[in-house]
Structure 1
Amino acid sequence: MSDDVKVINGPYLIYLQIGDDFDPGEVDFSELQEVTWCADNIHGTDIAYVRADALTAANARITELSAKCRLYEASLDKADREAAGLKKDAARWRYAVKYWLDEHIATKQADEAIAKEKK
Structure 2
Amino acid sequence: MPSIFTKIISGEIPCYKIAEDPDNFAFLDINPNSKGHTLCVPKKEVDRLLDLDEDSYTKLMQFSRKVGKAIEAAIPCERVGMSVIGLEVPHVHVHLIPLHSMKNATFQYKESFSTEEFEEIAGQIQDKLK
TM range (shorter): under 0.3
**Which one has a larger percent helix, Structure 1 or Structure 2?**
1
- Between Structure 1 and Structure 2, whose CA radius of gyration is higher? 1
Q: Which structure exhibits the higher relative contact order, with contacts defined as CA atoms closer than 8 Å and separated by 6 or more residues? A: 2
Higher strand share: 2
